[in-house]
Structures are given as C-alpha cells and as structure tokens.
C-alpha cells in the first residue's frame, strides 16, 4: 500500500469506507482513513454487504490492549481477516492461533532456538545473500528489489527449516498466494480458490516433508518441532504442519516488504539516506524506522471472549476486532511527527512485530537479516533511484510491494563486493512460478 502523508484536507466518510477490500491496499490509500478513525472513531464498526462485521481498532494504546489481553480477546478463532465469519481449523494447534497456556507451551521452546544468540552464527551467510541480492546494481543495471526481496528470507529460512532448495521458489509463491489471493499476479482462478489451493498445497507439502524425516538425524527447525514436547507430549502431525506453515509465512511476510518499503523511503527521502550513509552507526535505528514505516504485517484479528469495553466502546461476546498495526504505528499521540521518515527516530516503540504474548517469535531472525542487509546497502550504495512504476500488493494483511524497479549510484568502497557477488553467485531472484 502507498505510504502516504495525509494532508488533513481529505474528506473521509467513515460510514462508507471498506478496510476489508484488498484493492484499497493495492491502488488506494488507507492512511487518511486511519487518521480519521483515530480522531473520530478509534474503535469503529464495519458491516459488509454479506452481513459479516468487525471492529477496526486504530489507536496505539487500544491496539496494544487487544493484542496483549488474551483473556478478553482470543486468537483461537483465527488471526487474519481472511477467516472472518468462519472457524480456523488450526485453532489451538498452531502457535499463532492459540491462547495461553497452549500458546506459551509452544512458544517458549521456539524462543530459545530462534533467539538472537542462537541465530547470530548465520550472519555471514545472510551477508553473502544480501550481496547476491544487490549484485545486479554493480554493473549499472536495474533491479526489481521487490522480486529480489521475495527470495531473500526464503534463502535462509528454508535452510533453517531444512527444506530442499529446489522447493524454495514455489514455497515463496505459495505463501504470497495465501495472503494475497486477490492479487492478479498471484491469483490462480478465483480468489477463494487461490486461498484454498495455496493452503492445501502448503499443508500437503509439510505433511509429506515431516513424514519423510526423523527427529534424531535433523539438526534443523523441523527436526526441533519433531522433538518438541508440549505439556509432556510430542506434537501431533497436524500441529507440526500448522506451525511449519506459520513460521514460513511469518518469515516471508515481514522481511521482504520491510526491505522494499525502507528502500522506497530512502529514495523518497534522500536527505535521510545521506544522513545514514554519513553515520552507519544509525543502521539499527534505521531498520526500526523502516519497520515502523512499512508495517508489513498490516493487521491481526481477535474475537471478544466475553462482553467488554474497549476505548469506551461496548464490544459483545464473539465479535471480531481487527488491530491495524499500520495505523498504530502512525498514532500522533505516540510518535512525534509520525508521517516523517526519520532514520534516527528515538524512542521508536513500534508494533510492526505485534505486541504481547503473540509478539513475533521470528523477530530476532528478521532483525538480524534486516540489519545485515542494510549494512551492505550503506556500504555499497550511495543513492537509490526509482526506475519505473511501483506496484503494491492487493492484500488487507500484508502491506506489500510487488514491484520496485531501482537503479543506484554505488560507493567506490563497496562496489567491488557487489561485483564479486554478481560474478560468483548470480542474482538472488525467484521467478513467479
């Protein structure tokens, strides 16, 4: 979706806005809508033509309240708008679609294996992948950073999970189909058919993969899940499959779109990029600002466990609530000048990885990958230029960019590393197969 700066003069009729519509995020602009909701109706009900309804939660404090309090707002009925009005078959079996104590029992072991300490040894490999991704810029060529970025997290997450490399391109496409079934670049048949087919193929893939391996000889994340116990028992096959799907989806959702959104911000705010290249010590804070700015995971769904009140608004038991992270990360009450991209922003208490018990378990890996990537960017690139139309993903869940053509002026000190990566490994781009 466009990362715009509302003028304040936009006319927004909250009675007619449709935040469910994936097309809004491909060609429209939700930021004026969210700004109006934060000012006039921070907990706002939308009823769709088919009778389904949900509450949009747009302010930082209320978004955090919904995500933090599982005793009032459950994840077990599904966490994405695509499940609205139905029941998630992964409820209580997939970590993301569970509440404590089941969620805690699954999360705590995974937090150890996905901690920064456990993953920092992968930094050299991630650095090599980052150089391969940027390598086409070395000879003055054009790079579709969105297409290249789509393959970047799969190249280390796939290895971390022990998935065969020939499978990575299809898995990358399938995860995008699962969260952007309305996008014409990823739709295969009807939108509903695309979603069902993507889930079926992914679940079948992981079921076959899990059946083909044994826990004892696997030093990877799938082997860890096979050995993991919850409340004194091993995970069932469907629990392993659902969590493999969730881990892969999480990796492929956040990292590539944070990269594309941040580089687009660099091109649109060249003064901030010059500030960063002049002081590479700002890379960590620039990464956090890129996460806030792009907010790749756009929403999370919850359902009210019982009658309650949120922000002064009565919520009935069973009603759906959507916490809009992209809106919370622009809340004027929390972020000074929130529509300004600031590579040195501090404090920066963004919720790009969520909040509370469901704070993204893969956040350490995403931060490692993003910091290493942007260290390579700062070392090698003096300036980015947008080389053609930017295309946004039709998805109400992922604030994604599917096409971002760029060219760049390179820094003399870093160009050699990119040229070496181009000659030895070729570009890191997965075809849309």
Sign of the CA dihedral running 19, 20, 23, 26: positive
What average pLDDT does this structure show over 22-50? 96
CA distance 342 to 77: 37
Q: How far is CA 312 from the centre of its chain?
A: 30
CA distance 292 to 399: 12
pLDDT, tens digit, for every residue of 340-380? 999 999 999 999 999 999 999 999 999 999 999 999 999 99
CA distance 267 to 231: 50
20 band by pLDDT with thresholds 50, 70 and 90 = very high
pLDDT, tens digit, for every residue of 114-173? 988 878 888 999 999 999 999 999 988 999 999 999 999 998 899 999 999 999 999 999
Specify the pLDDT at position 140: 87
pLDDT, tens digit, for every residue of 168-192? 999 999 999 999 999 999 999 999 9
CA distance 366 to 252: 10
pLDDT, tens digit, for every residue of 252-307? 888 999 999 999 999 999 999 999 999 999 999 999 999 999 999 999 999 999 99
- Say if residues 162 and 218 touch (Cβ distance below 8 Å): yes
CA distance 429 to 144: 9
Specify the pLDDT at position 345: 98
Specify the pLDDT at position 154: 92
For residue 361, give every residue at least 6 positions away whose Cβ sits within 8 Å of its Cβ, in sequence order, or none: 95, 107, 110, 111, 114, 247, 250
For residue 278, the number of C-alpha atoms closer than 13 Å in the C-beta half-sphere is 8
Question: In what helix (H) or strand (E) does residue 243 lie, and over which residues does it extend?
Answer: helix 237-268
- Residue 146, judged by CB atoms within 10 A of its CB (0-12, 13-18, 19+), counts as buried
CA distance 388 to 404: 7
pLDDT above 70 for 83: yes
219 band by pLDDT with thresholds 50, 70 and 90 = confident
pTM: 0.94
Ordered alpha helix ranges (H), 114-190: 116-119, 123-134, 145-161, 168-179
Sign of the CA dihedral running 100, 101, 103, 104: positive
Specify the pLDDT at position 125: 93
CA distance 292 to 370: 13
What's the mean pLDDT when you consider all of the chain? Answer: 92
Q: Which is higher by pLDDT, 205 or 423?
A: 205
432 band by pLDDT with thresholds 50, 70 and 90 = very low
Q: Which of 110-119, 307-316, 393-402 shows the lowest mean pLDDT across its residues? A: 110-119
Q: Which CATH architecture has domain 22-425?
A: Orthogonal Bundle (1.10)
CA distance 426 to 322: 42
Specify the pLDDT at position 218: 77
- Say if residues 400 and 393 touch (Cβ distance below 8 Å): yes
Specify the pLDDT at position 431: 41
């Amino acid at each position: 979706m466009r990362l715009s700066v509302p003028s304040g003069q936009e006319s927004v009729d909250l009675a007619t806005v449709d935040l469910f519509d994936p097309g809004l995020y491909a060609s429209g602009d939700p930021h004026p809508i969210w700004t109006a909701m934060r000012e006039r109706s921070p907990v706002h009900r939308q009823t769709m033509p088919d009778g389904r309804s949900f509450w949009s939660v747009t302010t930082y404090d209320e978004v955090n309240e919904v995500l933090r309090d599982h005793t009032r707002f459950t994840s077990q009925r599904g966490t994405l708008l695509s499940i609205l009005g139905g029941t998630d078959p992964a409820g209580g079996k997939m970590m993301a679609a569970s509440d404590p104590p089941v969620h805690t029992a699954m999360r705590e072991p995974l937090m150890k294996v996905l901690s920064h300490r456990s993953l920092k040894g992968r930094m050299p490999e991630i650095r090599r992948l980052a150089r391969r991704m940027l390598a086409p810029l070395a000879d003055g060529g054009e790079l579709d950073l969105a297409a290249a970025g789509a393959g970047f997290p799969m190249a280390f997450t796939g290895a971390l999970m022990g998935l065969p490399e020939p499978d990575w391109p299809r898995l990358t496409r399938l995860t995008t189909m699962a969260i952007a079934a309305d996008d014409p670049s990823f739709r295969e048949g009807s939108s509903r058919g695309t979603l069902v087919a993507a889930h079926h193929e992914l679940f079948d893939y992981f079921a076959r993969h899990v059946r083909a391996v044994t826990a004892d000889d696997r030093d990877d994340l799938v082997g860890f899940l096979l050995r993991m116990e919850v409340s004194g028992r091993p995970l069932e096959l469907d629990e392993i499959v659902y969590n493999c799907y969730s881990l892969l989806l999480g990796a492929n959702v956040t990292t590539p779109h944070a990269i594309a959104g941040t580089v687009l911000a660099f091109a649109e705010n060249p003064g901030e990029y010059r500030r960063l290249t002049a002081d590479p010590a700002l890379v960590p804070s620039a990464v956090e600002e890129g996460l806030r700015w792009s907010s790749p995971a756009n929403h999370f769904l919850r359902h009210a466990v019982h009658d309650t009140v949120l922000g002064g608004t009565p919520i009935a038991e069973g009603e759906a609530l959507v916490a809009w992270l992209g809106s919370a990360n622009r809340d004027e009450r929390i972020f000074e000048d929130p529509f300004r991209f600031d590579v040195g922003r501090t404090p920066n208490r963004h919720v790009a990885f969520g909040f509370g018990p469901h704070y993204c378990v893969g956040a350490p890996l995403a931060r490692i990958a993003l910091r290493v990537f942007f260290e390579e960017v700062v070392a090698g690139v003096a300036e980015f230029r947008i080389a053609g139309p930017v295309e946004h993903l039709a998805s109400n869940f992922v604030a994604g960019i599917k096409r971002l053509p760029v060219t760049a002026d390179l820094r003399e000190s870093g160009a050699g590393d990119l040229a070496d990566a181009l000659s030895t490994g070729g570009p890191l781009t997965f075809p849309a197969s």
